[in-house]
Structure 1
């Protein structure tokens, strides 16, 4: 009897030890490849916006992978990509060292390639154009927001990840890439595009003395990179020195960039009010506020279209909800998710969706976009037609500014807000 008890106890104890070895030992005896995989797993485990991890056991995914040999760096990369793919989030992705460096360079203000901002359509999985960078080879080739990229140099885009597609479109200046483009149900067409060095000057500004009742400062913001806030602030000051009394801020085809740049630029226009709410995995709201030091209080109209995305939508939503500006144009793209970049120990990296954002009135724009106050459709314009009499959205913005001047008797921001600003919507939470 005592022996049987001892044997049963031994078996139970052995089972505990055996289980302990299986579940705990990997943490103490990982190979270099397993350590890199585990590093990526921990980042997602700590930061990813969905605490259910797409309704799957995130710990078990780690355990199953660590029980397999990872014999090379390529196998490790594949394992990380497979792990991230299980989240079914096209914006959370693995970046090889060259891709990670390229993404850092693009936000710093330099780029070589064709100049396309792209995304995966969450519903269809197709590769979609957010917007071409102004003046880039893609822009000159006539590629438009919402165009679908069917193939790149003959390789179907469905076979490529987002970053693989981006890598194939980059390349040295003077080299060529062939894109097959599909637009609104029309027959696909192939475009041969010559890569070039792309100037990422985020701000284009001019003084318009002829279109409106008073001089208008026109500012086109093409990207939220590291230089954007400083350059936009200087443009506002310079235009006011030249006599600008009203402003048109053009965010058309601005696909976003750095979140912090969007927040700082909103502060240039707002004396007070919330700029954006961010909502993390615990549904905890954090907010970014204006700091009471607006650079100008002159009347403002913002131009938006289907290529206005991400940080551009944060800025447009902040100005609209705070009654600082009216929006003219088309419904924006609808990207309301925030990614952070994390560098891994071997120089590769992860882009991880860490939060979603809501406008000051708690409007969740993801997949919905922001509705303009004055809808105006627009066909493709040549670059020299932008912000001229040939640009109906710009002309609608000028008409709004003229209306404010007539109603207020003077181009004063307080009068503009009182007379023309849209009614504030009651806050609601969108989850």
Structure 2
């Protein structure tokens, strides 16, 4: 597992910040911090990571952003003195020097200087009060990069972080995974890993520092199940996980279904192969299932939209005669424009399935097809993450991730904090929400999508 956007947990009551690190007093914690927060929206990010030098819509996409040199001045880097609107580093350095002298003179225990330094950088990003901006140590960043090929040593579950409470919840458990074998369920909230309370940790730190590990080793995880008000201890054996980003099947009446769990680099080829195989079998309509898809590589989402839409839908001015897919704008109203250009289109009835955990790149994909009336959206309103993060390597192996821009659907819709509303709204049956595996014939949202497709064929 490997993961992303995050932000510090702001506790509203007693809990891991009260100094209790052994798991006692947990009823006080959950009663104060969790009740009522369990049905709110989550930061949709899969536990797989990002690649270096990237532009993130939910998770990642290749960027033109250069690395920043630590020794000497990199692009856009100043000499570190104070500047308008920024930190007065002369004053801060003097104060930090004073604090260090006090530590040297009076601190009882041995100081881990590297750990202190890392937390200084973490604090600087946390001080931006942006849950998506964070600092990655060299170890964190290496772990993130190791996950970019769609494989990792972990437990085989997708996590999401509540942007209000910071709590990390299981969104999906992959079939055949160690997590499924251990009894993990969607809706489980990660409470403790080993003997450490982790409810205050960011999603990245939780995944990379606690859950991921050497293949074949066991990790003890305690989850909280709100529907039963109980804690469940489980031991999960880490394995090399290949994330199934695309799964497909042919349903009745020549209706194809392609489920996309995230947008990775490999997803584009897998998606096109799935479409090709289904068309060989006579597919007459397509359901693209993006439920609980947290996002991923923007470039992959754009290429998949490009594969579906023709290149010459001159409907929006920013497309300049081409099919506009998505565009971004930073604080200076500058950004990138993405248009279709591959010469391919998919002409058949299409339904897109989404839910409240469909985020970022999923919303780029859905928003583009919806704006051109190329697909009918079924399910519930998507998450609503319409901002861009840049992941910037710092030259010494570490990196920072900061929010840099908004993105917009072709029609100019800013979905951040709003999400994309479905054309046909249908909630998943309550009894199905905690099931790791739902049979297609029992999936009421999928069956509604089938019905809509039949009506449009």
TM-score, normalised to structure 2, is 0.69
Q: In the TM superposition, what is the alpha-carbon distance from 1:286 to its structure 2 partner? A: 3.5
| Offset, 1:116 | 4.1
Partner of 1:197: 240
Alpha-carbon distance change, 184 to 384 in structure 1, aligned in 2, over 3 angstroms: closer
Task: Tell me, in whole angstroms, the C-alpha distance in 2 between the residues paired with 1:90 and 1:337.
Answer: 12
1:165-211 alpha-carbon deviations (Å, 9 max, x no partner)? 11201122343334443455752422414122211131111222xx2
**Further displaced range: 188-197 or 337-346:** 188-197
Report the secondary structure of 2:448's partner residue. helix
Structure 1 distance, partners of 2:143, 2:304, is 25
Q: Partner of 1:280 in structure 2?
A: 330
Query: How many angstroms does 1:137 deviate by?
Result: 3.6
Let me know the Cα RMSD of the aligned residues: 3.1
Structure 1 residues 369 and 149: alpha-carbon distance in aligned structure 2, compared to 1, 3 A threshold: farther
Indicate the residue corresponding to 2:378 in structure 1. 328
SS of 2:403's equivalent in the other structure is strand
Distance 1:393 1:294, change over 3 A: farther
Q: Tell me, yes or no, if the aligned pair for 1:178 and 1:190 is still in contact at 8 Å.
A: no
3-state DSSP of counterpart to 2:296: coil
CA separation in 1, counterparts of 2:258 and 2:339?
A: 23
Q: Say if 2:186 is the partner of 1:144.
A: yes
Q: Identify the match of residue 57 of structure 1 among 73, 76, 85.
A: 85
Distance 1:198 1:44, change over 3 A: farther
Q: Quote the Cα distance in structure 1 between the aligned partners of 2:162 and 2:436.
A: 28
1:95 Cα shift?
1.1
Distance 1:337 1:184 in 2: 30
SS in 2 for 1:108: coil
Shift of residue 79 of structure 1?
A: 1.8
Query: Which one of the candidate residues 370, 374, 380 is aligned to 2:420?
Result: 370
Among 280, 288, 306, the residue aligned to 1:249: 288
The Cα of 1:238 is off from its aligned counterpart by 1.7
Give the Cα–Cα distance (whole angstroms) in 2 for the partners of residues 355 and 365 of structure 1. 13
How big is the shift at 1:298? 1.4
Q: Which residue of 2 aligns with 1:348?
A: 398
Aligned equivalents of 2:293, 2:358: Cα separation in 1: 5
1:381 is displaced (CA, Å) by 7.2
Q: Could you give the per-residue CA deviations for residues 123-156 of structure 1, whole angstroms, max 9, x where no partner exists?
A: 33x22337335334445634326x5433333423
2:419 equivalent to 1:380:
no
Q: Secondary structure at the match of 2:442?
A: coil
Q: Within 2, Cα distance between the matches of 1:181 and 1:370?
A: 31
After TM superposition, the structure 1 = structure 2 runs for residues 26-425 of structure 1, keeping only pairs within 5 Å, are 36=70, 57-60=85-88, 62-67=89-94, 68=96, 72-124=113-165, 126-129=166-169, 131-132=171-172, 134-135=174-175, 136-138=177-179, 141-144=183-186, 148-166=189-207, 167-182=209-224, 187-194=229-236, 195-208=238-251, 211-212=252-253, 215-271=254-310, 272=313, 273-284=323-334, 286-291=336-341, 293-378=343-428, 379-380=432-433, 385-386=438-439, 388-405=440-457
Contact 2:224 2:230 (C-alpha < 8 Å) held by counterparts: yes
Query: Shift in Å at residue 227 of structure 1?
Result: 0.4
Q: CA deviation at 1:43?
A: 7.0
Tell which structure's C-alpha radius of gyration is larger: 1
**What 5-or-longer segments of structure 2 have no aligned partner?**
1-68, 101-111, 314-322
**Alignment match, 1:409:** none
CA distance in 2, matches of 1:254, 1:261: 13
The structure that is helix-richer by fraction is 1
Structure 1 residue 399, shift from structure 2 partner: 0.8
CA distance in 2 between partners of 1:245 and 1:254 (Å)? 25
Give the Cα–Cα distance (whole angstroms) in 1 for the partners of residues 78 and 184 of structure 2: 38
User: Cα distance, 1:85 vs. partner?
Assistant: 1.0
Number of aligned residue pairs: give it: 354
Cα deviation digits, residues 356-412 of structure 1 (max 9, x gap): 2222233322233222111111123756644x221111111111111112xxxxxxx
Given that 1:306 and 1:332 are in contact with CA atoms closer than 8 Å, whether structure 2 keeps it comes out as yes
The answer to which of 344-353 and 217-226 deviates more is 344-353
Q: When the two structures are superposed, what TM-score results if normalisation uses the length of structure 1?
A: 0.73
Q: In structure 2, how many angstroms separate the alpha carbons of the residues matched to 1:179 and 1:331?
A: 31
Secondary structure in structure 2 of the residue aligned to 1:248: strand
| 1:87 Cα deviation from its structure 2 partner | 0.4
